[in-house]
Amino acid sequence: MIQFALGVDIGGTNTKVALVNDGGDVAGIETFPTGRDQAALIANIREAAGRCRGAATLRGAGVAVAGFINSARDRLSYNPNLQWLEGFPLRDAMADALGVTVALEVDSNASCLGEYRFGAGRGSQRFLCLVAGTGLGVGMIIDGALVRFMGECIGDAGHVVVDANGPECPCGGRGCAEAMVSERTIVQNAQSGATLREVIENARKGDTRAVTELAAAGRALGIAMASLSQIFFPDRIVLAGGLAEAEHLVLPAAEAAFRRTVNTEARARVEVVKASLGWRATVIGAAAPLLL
């Protein structure tokens, strides 16, 4: 018998609610603005969930949220873009609203788990997943378990330093990977569209500045992958998120920079590949722990 769970992805801008089955397929999906009000967000998720689930019996709901969560995994503890949600008992409020068991997870962990269970991470023992979109999230799974040591995730690994002379980062650091590959940075530097998606489209049409900026982002990602490899020794690295959709404009530059800078063993053994679930990875990975 097929099992179903809801996957919810609460982002800084939009929230997605999806019905996910135990094969990792997404049936219904709804997207709406996250807004800035706790009660309204819960009500919007409940309504969308009602439409998505149809007649399906749910094993529960997995909720992915951008930012650090507390060690009890029941609320968001830190995200400067979702400050109004920090400290709110999100897991229990969702369980009350939906009438099912709820598991709360960091969004980059959920993406990583989605790819590991159903996508490009299958079979990996030491799986590193970089999610490059609005910012740069990182998740890692070692022998089947997510790495958790800070904020219930792999810390702020997206802020690993890749260029000591690079731009200042909103985190207070300098030359962080995220500062160099975030949507805002790429859009600002490429001057070829208002969103990352538009920059990618224009690069595909031959806009040289857009092509150059995406390759630069790829190089920064490759150096971040190399630095993280020195600590975590992955056997496979996957690039997910909106930037991964620019595959041929980003991945070759990332892989070249990775192989130029990383240690000898990793250079020979580690695969760098594109995620295979696209934007679905986060809702699928959020629901995955409920689907045994």
Binding characters for Zn ion, 164-183, by CB under 5 A (x = yes): -----x-x-x--x-------
Q: Does 196 bind Zn ion (CB under 5 A)?
A: no
Rounded to 5 degrees, what are φ and ψ at 51?
-75, -40
In this complex, which beta carbon is closest to Zn ion, that of residue 173 or of residue 193?
173
In this complex, which beta carbon is closest to Zn ion, that of residue 156 or of residue 255?
156
Residue with tokens 């990996």: 124
Residue 68 in contact with residue 151, Cβ under 8 Å? Answer: yes
In this complex, which beta carbon is closest to Zn ion, that of residue 93 or of residue 186?
186
Binding characters for Zn ion, 82-121, by CB under 5 A (x = yes): ----------------------------------------
Q: Does 159 bind Zn ion (CB under 5 A)?
A: yes
Residue 66 in contact with residue 12, Cβ under 8 Å? Answer: yes
Q: Any alpha helices (H) in the chain, and if so which ranges?
A: 38-53, 90-98, 107-118, 177-181, 183-190, 196-204, 208-232, 247-261, 264-269, 280-287
Coil, helix or strand at residue 273: strand
Q: Does 147 bind Zn ion (CB under 5 A)?
A: no
Query: Which range, of 85-93, 116-124, 155-163, 216-224, touches Zn ion by CB under 5 A?
Result: 155-163
In this complex, which beta carbon is closest to Zn ion, that of residue 56 or of residue 171?
171
In this complex, which beta carbon is closest to Zn ion, that of residue 95 or of residue 160?
160
Amino acid letter at 239? L
Sign for the CA dihedral angle at 140, 63, 91, 83 comes to positive
Whole-angstrom Cα distance, residue 186 to residue 180? 8
CB of 251 to Zn ion, least distance (A): 23
In this complex, which beta carbon is closest to Zn ion, that of residue 176 or of residue 283?
176
The site that binds Zn ion (CB under 5 A) totals a number of residues, namely 5
Question: Cα 117 vs. chain centroid, distance in angstroms?
Answer: 15
Query: Which range, of 120-128, 162-170, 195-203, 223-231, touches Zn ion by CB under 5 A?
Result: 162-170
Q: Does 224 bind Zn ion (CB under 5 A)?
A: no
CB of 170 to Zn ion, least distance (A): 7
Whole-angstrom Cα distance, residue 289 to residue 212? 40
Please work out, in degrees rounded to the nearest 5, the angle formed at the alpha carbon of residue 269 by the alpha carbons of 268 and 272.
100
Coil, helix or strand at residue 139: strand
Binding site for Zn ion (CB under 5 A): 159, 169, 171, 173, 176
